[in-house]
Amino acid sequence: MSGAPERSCGQASVELVGVAGALLLAFLIGFQLLAAGYAAVMADHAAEAAALALANRRPAAKAAADAVPGWPSSELRVRRDRDSVAVTLLPPSPFRILRGRLAIRGEAALSTPAGEDGR
């Protein structure tokens, strides 16, 4: 009988390690989802700022970078098409394998002021 409490104490330790690992994994997945969601909002915000800057004949890349304060400039890419601006952000990730694969893109349309489109 004296061996039973020791075995259950050891089993509880193993269960504690298992539960702690599962909680850590759940936390990391939750963090990744929040980071991707935040990046989606910021990408849209930066794309809109870049489109407004182009409409006012200012540099789009600088406006996009200013719209996402604190975001590393190496993780921000601005691309202009004929009638739109696309901003791509790489959200932070605790998983190195996902680092470059979670590119979030925001897009905004460029509009020309009345009278400048040839009509």
Binned at pLDDT 50, 70 and 90, residue 118 comes out as very low
**DSSP designation for 108:** E
Instruction: State the greatest distance between any 2 C-alpha atoms of the chain, in Å, as a whole number.
Output: 95
- Give the tokens for residue 24: 């850590």
The total number of structural domains in the chain stands at 1
The whole domain housing 86 covers 3-109
User: What does pTM read for this prediction?
Assistant: 0.75
Cβ pair 87, 64 in contact under 8 A: yes
pLDDT at residue 11 greater than cutoff 50: yes
- The answer to whether residue 101 is domain-embedded is yes
Amino acid occupying residue 60? A
Is residue 29 assigned to a domain?
Answer: yes
Residue 84 counted as domain residue: yes
The verdict on residue 118 lying in a domain is no
